Structure 1
Amino acid sequence: MTAQIIAVIIFALMFVMIIIDKIPRHFVTLGCGLATIGIVFGACMKSTDAIMQTLNIKSIFTPDFWIVSGQAEESSSGINWATIIFIAGMMVMVEGMARAGFFRWLCLTIAKAVKYKVMPILVTFMLMSAVLSMFIDSITVILFLAAVTVELSQLLKFNPVPMVLSEIFCANLGGSATMCGDPPNIIIGTALGYSFADFLTNTGLIAGIALVFIIIFFYFVFKKELSANRSAEVDPSTYPNPSEAIESKKDFIISTVIFIIAVVLLVTHAQTGLTVAFIGVAIAVITLVTSFKHIGYIMKRVDYKTLLFFIGLFIVVGGLEQTGVLEIIAGFIEKICGGNVFAMVLIIMWVSAVASAFVDNIPFAATMVPVIKTLAATTPGADLSVLAYGLSIGTDIGGSATPIGASANVVGTSVISKAGHPVGWGKYCKSAIPATAIVLTIAMIVIKLRYF
């Protein structure tokens, strides 16, 4: 009982400190992780096994961690090393692509294709944001997309805020469509053994349907604001040339090929038996070998703080799991649902959405994975995959509702604020909350029609 109480206190303290955001969040999770190991596992439980199971280092040295036959990999409790290694590998690839000018070239090429007209740019950039975020971390997508949007807004004389807000939402929506699109999905997929195709044919269907409605929604919501200065004259000769973004054609071609290889490996990993950890390492090695002269530059730009954040987070959640707290939560959800599995899915989705609107959706997803595993095992008729997809949609889309709900939101609003266009909660939520409600309503309908 004492171990459970302390584990909950450490977890709650971690969440509060992340929300307050006064201390770097990787220090917060690592500190709380050390407290979990020392106080909960050491002083209270006096269990070396709990520590070893949570650190989960042995799993890295098993053959199934890298290549599996038949069934997809499933991580045990504790630190999900597959998630961390995969994200690290994709970070290396993305930094290589960014250095080669891939993202800026893509944005300018699309803008040129629609003849630099504002409303077509809005629609195409929303589509591009969603599609890129299916394969690349949404933070990176928004970082470059928002920067190019600000550049174009200065040239074409329009307010960049509506366009960037639309791009942020579509990045989170696109990220919900695949296993590698958003960190919560990577956590869910690697922990439960779901493939890229599993997500694409389930959450991807919901995201695809919702994207159509969201593009129409943002088009009409922001049309008047984006068309306000349409009469302003712009000299066509000042339009940027996409080719200017490419400093080295060789590096650009190589980074593009590596990206295609990564996509192919991810799409086929259920058939090949290659785990996401293997794919992450392979892509990182290929990137570094082909960019040998720039290894120092690429490695310096990798976001190590996020990787450390994940490690600490998994340890704290492991404390809740080892002490049985998550089983208690699962039992409570099962009790209030009264055996109604559809109600259970809706509760998981909506609670995840509301929680993720105010707290980081990554720790919430990591916390809920063991909960839905317990629910599926103890509730007659409950399908783990349906619970998982409900959790995925809830965390990914709920995080879009407020400026602090997801990392992409923070990055996007920061970019336009630095450009002289600060975005308050009122401005952000005015369009984001209705859009979030639209997607969650569509998700409810699809889940009901498809699974019940």
Structure 2
Amino acid sequence: MNLAAFAPWAAGFLFVFMFILVITEKFERHVVTLACGAAVLVIVFGICMHSWQAAWRTLNIQSIFTLDFWYSATESAESSSGINWATILFIAGMMIMVEGMASAGFFRWLCLRFAKLVKYRATRIFLAFMIMSAILAMFIDSITVILFLAAVTVELAQLLKFDPVPVILAEIFCANLGGSATMCGDPPNIIIGTALGYSFSDFVSNTGVIAGISLVCVVIYFWLCFAKKLKKSETYLESIESFPDPHEAILDRARFIQSTFIFGLAVVLLVSHANTHLTVAFIGTFIALLTLVCAGGQAMDLLRKVDYRTLLFFVGLFVVVGGLEETGVLEIVAGLIADWSNGSLYLMVAIILWLSALASAVVDNIPFAATMIPIIRTLAQSQSVPLATLAWTLSMGTDIGGSATPIGASANVVGTAVAMKAGYPISWGKYCKYCVPATLLVVTISMICIFVRYV
């Protein structure tokens, strides 16, 4: 009996099973993804495929010991296959940096300073943080932006007694939207740009314009959703004079200066990594080590505060999606586009955009973008359509579609984890209630903009 034929079905079933368990929240999500990841390794790769090479490729441990993992002049689509250890190390490094900044009083100081600047109005904080999230994510990885802003939001919420969940939801969505505007803002854009030869300015003048138009609509949308609720908290404001002075938050001035310098250095390294060729794995590891060295005797405390459950969740998720990659499920789905479009550029754009958005909402958008690149290249050659049009369509679909669910993009996972750790859990129902309509809105705007400008 040829069990290899059942491998794609087994991989697809395990993914759907994992997805259902994560949504129902009956078990901790990292336990679910790790268990399903182990099942993929044993059932799909071992029993069905008899291919431990596929398992080894998915575990991707060997990549850590290569020069390209730490320093690379190019970033190929193949580098995203299996467990993306660069993402894991980067998130871990940023978590350590954020914990170091928090222990030095940086976030407490910043929230008090910012609250004083906007006269302690939750609605003004809400607007400012949405715009700030989008702008920062254009140049800094959205994971770092959300780790930073979500921590500040929680501090402000506890000070001003408002619910931070609406603000964090809006920050997550705007970070993903801002990341779509530039080549370095979101991992799929890096893969698309390097594989197809597009530059930073190419993205800004194309996806950046669409993201800018969409941001205006998104800010209005979230304002209509949450402004009334946030305004209620402003009625309970105490006398402004009763709030503590921002300088009171600085308990150790030397550590405060060090943490500020480390954060600034992280920003510089992330913005310039396309020129320095230092990978995000190197940047995350270097920043983490620098933070631990500066922490001295408190280094172990910082390590204990790292959210290891979120890191394990990513490991399991990458393995399950790796099962879909190795069994060819993603290629089958992507290949159907050529048949469905039937030579129509309008239909081709619509299918790529909506399929990419839908797929990125339920699987990690990095491997999907990597899988789609050869498909759109083939479509451009065989159907005589502009490759750039399909590239911008793929970029917007993968970047924005990931905003729809809590597991669609790394920033979503990190943002909801920060909220949960602070005592503000965000359920799947609450997340999707507000972010799915926003995603549909932006994807629709993107389709209209692409039709008008390129088709």
TM-score interval, normalised by the smaller of the two chains: 0.7 to 0.9
2:249 counterpart residue number: 245
Pairs within 5 Å for 1:43-192: 43-69=47-73, 71-74=74-77, 75=79, 77-131=81-135, 134-135=140-141, 136-137=143-144, 140-141=147-148, 143-154=150-161, 160-161=162-163, 164-178=165-179, 185-186=186-187, 189=190
Q: 1:16 is matched with which residue: 11, 15, 20?
A: 20
- Find the aligned partners of 2:323 and 2:39 in 1 and give their Cα distance: 10
Contact 1:326 1:370 survives alignment (8 Å): no
Tell me the equivalent position of 2:378.
378
Describe the shift of the 1:235–1:318 C-alpha distance in structure 2 as closer, same or farther (beyond 3 A): closer
Q: Scaled by the length of structure 1, what TM-score is found?
A: 0.80
Q: Please give the alpha-carbon distance, in whole angstroms, between the structure 1 residues aligned to 2:277 and 2:192.
A: 16
Within the alignment, does 1:395 sit opposite 2:398 as a pair? no
User: How many equivalent pairs are there?
Assistant: 434
SS in 2 for 1:116: coil
Which amino acid counterpart does residue 248 of structure 1 have in structure 2? D
Question: 2:444 aligned with 1:441, yes or no?
Answer: yes
2:326 to 322, 332, 351: 322
Name the TM-score, length of structure 2 as normaliser: 0.80
3-state SS, counterpart of residue 309 of structure 1: helix
CA distance in 1, matches of 2:345, 2:245: 54
Q: Taking structure 1 as reference, are residues 180 and 54 closer, same or farther at Cα in structure 2, changes over 3 Å only? A: farther
Which of 37, 41, 58 lines up with 1:37 in the alignment?
41
**CA-CA distance at 1:72 after TM superposition:** 3.1
SS of residue matched to 2:178: coil
Question: Deviation digits for residues 231-253 of structure 1, max 9, x if unmatched?
Answer: 77742321232222222121111
Question: 1:248/1:28 Cα in 2 relative to 1: closer, same or farther (>3 Å)?
Answer: same
- Structure-2 separation of matches of 1:4 and 1:217: 40
Residues 238 and 204 of structure 1, relative CA distance in 2, 3 Å threshold: farther
* Contact 1:351 1:394 (C-alpha < 8 Å) held by counterparts: no
Q: 1:39, 1:45 → 2: CA distance?
A: 8
1: CA distance, partners of 2:203 / 2:256: 28
Q: Relative to 1, partners in 2 of residues 1:82 and 1:346: Cα closer, same or farther, differing over 3 Å?
A: farther
Q: 1:40 to 1:192 in 2, by over 3 A?
A: farther
Unaligned stretches of 5+ in structure 1? Answer: 155-159
Query: In the alignment, which of 301, 304, 307 is matched to residue 305 of structure 2?
Result: 301
Greater Cα offset, 345-354 or 276-285: 345-354
Alpha-carbon deviations, 1:309-347, whole Å to 9, x = none?
222222222222222222211122332222445544443
Q: 1:249 to 1:441 in 2, by over 3 A?
A: farther
How far 1:300 sits from its partner (Å)?
Answer: 0.9
Query: How much has 1:289 moved relative to structure 2?
Result: 1.3
Deviations 1:6-29 (A, max 9, x none): 222222212122112222222222
The answer on 1:365 being equivalent to 2:368 is no
Q: Measure, in 2, the Cα distance between the counterparts of 1:221 and 1:351.
A: 27
Aligned 8 A contact 2:93 2:285 in 1: yes
Query: Which shifted more, 36-45 or 132-141?
Result: 132-141
* Identity of matched residues, %: 41
Deviation at 1:60, TM superposition (A): 1.8
Please provide the CA RMSD for this pair. Answer: 3.9
User: Which residue of 2 is the match for residue 157 of structure 1?
Assistant: none
Unaligned runs of 5+ in 2: none
Structure 1 191/277 Cα, relative in aligned 2: closer, same or farther at 3 Å? farther
Q: Give the match's secondary structure for 2:120.
A: coil
Question: How far did residue 265 of structure 1 move?
Answer: 0.9
